[in-house]
């Protein structure tokens, strides 16, 4: 998929729809979308911020909103797109969506505020400069 088609998203992760993701109506249950977004967030950080020590640092959801645009059915080919829109002192704003890779139709949009959490000291933590720089460069933030 070309960059222009992806509306500025660089991180695009194909998602496999599992048998248990689909409800008796033949479409993906709305709660499963958040699992798709979590999978994409994990891969996004593994790609962009390679030195994350997950034994000491957690990235937790402070706020999340989803707009369900169109159903995802069992046979659809989908991908999750992820990008950072804003970086604060201890938090950052992610924008994600799920698209049909065949038609490029947006199936769902998600906006979340994520907070960095120090697992050793049990408190929020400042955003590391190396991560800030890596994300800004990757997503083209000023």
Render pLDDT for 14-73 as a digit per residue (tens, 0 to 9). Answer: 999 999 999 999 999 999 999 999 999 999 999 999 888 889 999 999 999 999 999 999
> DSSP label at 27?
B
Give CA–CA dist 8/134, Å, rounded.
16
User: What is the per-residue pLDDT for 109?
Assistant: 97
User: How does 71-104 read in b/e, with b if 16+ C-beta sit within 10 Å?
Assistant: ebeeebebbbbbbbeebeebbbbbbbbbbbeeee
> Is a pLDDT exceeding 90 seen at residue 8?
no
> Is a pLDDT exceeding 50 seen at residue 1?
no
User: What is the per-residue pLDDT for 5?
Assistant: 57
Mean pLDDT of the region 5-15: 86
C-alpha radius of gyration, the chain, whole number: 16
pLDDT-derived band at 6 (thresholds 50, 70, 90) equals: low
> Is a pLDDT exceeding 50 seen at residue 75?
yes
pLDDT-derived band at 3 (thresholds 50, 70, 90) equals: very low
Give CA–CA dist 110/37, Å, rounded.
8
Q: Which residue has the higher pLDDT, 8 or 112?
A: 112
Give CA–CA dist 71/94, Å, rounded.
22
pLDDT-derived band at 2 (thresholds 50, 70, 90) equals: very low
């Amino acid at each position: 998929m070309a960059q222009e088609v992806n509306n500025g998203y660089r991180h695009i992760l194909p998602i496999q729809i599992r048998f248990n993701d689909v409800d008796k109506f033949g479409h993906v249950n709305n709660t499963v979308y958040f699992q798709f977004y979590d999978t994409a967030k994990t891969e996004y950080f593994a790609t962009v911020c390679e030195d994350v020590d997950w034994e000491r640092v957690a990235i937790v959801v402070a706020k999340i909103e989803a707009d369900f645009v169109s159903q995802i059915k069992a046979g659809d080919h989908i991908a999750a797109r992820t990008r950072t829109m804003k970086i604060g002192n201890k938090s950052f704003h992610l924008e994600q969506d799920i698209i049909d890779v065949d038609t490029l139709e947006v199936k769902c949009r998600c906006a979340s505020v994520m907070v960095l959490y120090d697992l050793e000291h049990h408190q929020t933590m400042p955003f590391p400069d190396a991560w800030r720089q890596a994300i800004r460069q990757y997503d083209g933030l000023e």
